[in-house]
Chains A and B, each alone.
Chain A
Amino acid sequence: EAQVTQNPRYLITVTGKKLTVTCSQNMNHEYMSWYRQDPGLGLRQIYYSMNVEVTDKGDVPEGYKVSRKEKRNFPLILESPSPNQTSLYFCASKIGQGAGNTIYFGEGSWLTVV
């Protein structure tokens, strides 16, 4: 079954404590991306990767890091989380380049920073 899997699904953490949200896809997609969803703001892109070792900033990259060492994995790293990073995070993937390919979203990770 085609899947984008992210973990953890729910996390409460404290300000400044580094955390990583993992993302893995089994569809051999070149393109992967991270979004955050906040009320009234929709889905905003944090970082994206067009292939292994190729990453780039999205609209709201501040406070986040990513890496793409393998095609299937695209972890999101919060080096020093702050309360304004409390949000619902979605990992996504799609085949190839170009916006015209269907995006597959993971199930989302609810992150609360206190």
Chain B
Amino acid sequence: GENVEQHPSTLSVQEGDSAVIKCTYSDSASNYFPWYKQELGKRPQLIIDIRSNVGEKKDQRIAVTLNKTAKHFSLHITETQPEDSAVYFCAAGVTGGGNKLTFGTGTQLKVEL
């Protein structure tokens, strides 16, 4: 089955700096890669996703890149703000058939003033 590794487990940045979280996956059949943000005491919520037919996707201050050859994808947050502090989960799965979405172990991002 799919195995998703996520690094780092904790990340501390100064407000205004950029943050990068990286994930690798093992199953070459995976073609859908979402990122979820979980604020303290709340449920995970989808913030951005990418499918294997594109290499990069942006939404304001967040972007995700995908390297299918190397089987890794990354979340980039620019101009970080205190409200970006949360746990971020990457995941990998296969569209249009299997329902399985495998999550990474999470990254605790702390944006310091």
Interface residues of A (CB under 8 A from B): 31, 35, 40-45, 48, 50, 90, 97-100, 102-103, 105-108
Query: CB of B43 within 8 A of chain A?
Result: yes
B100 close to chain A: CB less than 8 A: yes
Q: Which residue of A lies closest to B44 (CB)?
A: A105
Given contacts A41-B105, A42-B106, A99-B32, contact A50 B43 (CB under 8 A): no
* A-B pairs with beta carbons under 8 A, tally: 60
With both chains docked as a complex, state the minimum distance between the C-beta of B10 and any C-beta of chain A, in angstroms. Answer: 11
Number of interface residues of B (CB under 8 A): 26
Residue in A closest to B9 when the chains form the complex, CB atoms? A40
Supposing A43-B89, A103-B46, A105-B44 touch, asked if A98 and B105 sit within 8 A by C-beta, the answer is no
CA distance A41 to B104 in the complex (A): 8
| Residues on the B chain within 8 Å of A99, using CB | 32, 93-95, 98-101
Contact across chains for B96 and A90 when beta carbons are under 8 A apart: no
